[in-house]
Amino acid sequence: MSNVKHESARPSASILVASDAQANASVVSDLLSAEFDGVQASWVPESTLSDFEAARPQVLVLAFEELEKAEVYYLGLHRRSRAIRERPHRTILLCQKDDVRRVFELCRTEHFDDYVLFWPMSYDGYRLPMAVYSALRHLAAPQSAPRYPENVIQSAERLGSVGEFIGDRLAAGAQHIETIRAAADGIDKGAVLSDAVAPASRWIDQFQADAAPYVQAAQSMHSAVQKARRLLVVDDDPFQRKLLAKYLSGEPYEVLFAADSSEAFALAMAEPPDLVLMDVMLPNVDGVEATRRLRAYPDLAKVPVVMLTGKSGRETVIESRRAGATDFLVKPIDRHTLIAKLREMLTG
């Protein structure tokens, strides 16, 4: 008898097929419904938002004949739907042969998660269901950096200094005992007094040893929470991105990189960072304008944005401040200044 377990039940998942044409939505929905329960379709422009919010899909399949329309649809959802930012989901783009290169770039840079060459209809009818299975598996896998509520982060940051706090207080206590002993040396029957404080000395040593595991636990918790701090670096220069990656490699942050403002938006909207390091001079949309646009999104309005600039001119500073920049770092940036700035802004 075989010991291989065969799954007979059809998998159920929340899958939304979005399109600008009913015929395409139907073809794709039918294909997926043959494999999954829970497939819905959306093709009426006026119902885009309500369809998405009703479905709250785990997997969103974009079945638009033109790539630009798929991008407009998805960006529109990000602007208008809170659910898309709250609900973890994967987005699969169906594309035509001529768009593969561009679609690949969009997925490589994490604007979308995956793509399937769908038009003209390929010989491989299983490719799309397989991509949906992969997306669902990805969602089921534990995420690398858990997000903690702000009060947990703040408490953990205080806990990080508990070892230093206890050490300082015990050292002060030991100093008091030494003062008493020194004074006892100069008086009659001073030895009696000196002996009397000996238990206090032993208590300090014992307390230090007993507290050590608790201090260690507090520091571990502090490190774990610190690792969940997410930085988004936006710079079009690969050298500067590499350099910042090296600067930050030993630091307890998860660092994401974007080469332009559209990559930055995609990453920031998928999960708001705790801080953005934004180069001023970016191609197409510059860092000042990108900051202004980030600020327009309620979830990103309060994220600190530190501008990275080779120019510290008055005009750049004023424009950046107006756009909502929190602070500045002038290139070339030294590691010490960067780390100090991040610590100050993320724990302040």
Partner 1 sequence: MDQDARRPIADAVRVPTLDESVLIDLLDGDVRLAAEVLRDFEGTLEQGADEIDAAFRNQRTQDLVVASHKLKSSSRTVGAMRLGELCERLEESAGGPVPSVERMILAIMAEIGAVGRRLRATRK
Q: Which residues bind partner 1 (CB under 8 A)?
A: 236-240, 242-243, 246, 281, 283, 310, 331-336
Q: Which is nearer to partner 1, 45 or 283 (CB)?
A: 283
For residues 48 and 13, give the distance between their C-alpha atoms in angstroms, rounded to a whole number: 20
Cβ 331 vs Cβ 243: under 8 Å: no
Q: CB of 208: closest distance to partner 1 in angstroms?
A: 32
Q: Which is nearer to partner 1, 71 or 260 (CB)?
A: 260
Q: CB of 144: closest distance to partner 1 in angstroms?
A: 25
Q: Which is nearer to partner 1, 61 or 333 (CB)?
A: 333
Q: CB of 324: closest distance to partner 1 in angstroms?
A: 23
Q: CB of 162: closest distance to partner 1 in angstroms?
A: 28
Q: CB of 336: closest distance to partner 1 in angstroms?
A: 5
Where helices occur in the chain by DSSP H, the ranges are 22-33, 48-55, 67-80, 83-86, 100-108, 127-140, 150-160, 162-185, 190-196, 198-227, 238-248, 261-270, 287-295, 314-323, 335-347
At residue 148, φ and ψ (nearest 5 deg) are -115, 150
Q: Which is nearer to partner 1, 283 or 298 (CB)?
A: 283
For residues 308 and 52, give the distance between their C-alpha atoms in angstroms, rounded to a whole number: 37
For residues 16 and 78, give the distance between their C-alpha atoms in angstroms, rounded to a whole number: 16
Q: How far is CA 4 from the centre of its chain?
A: 39
Q: Which is nearer to partner 1, 167 or 313 (CB)?
A: 313
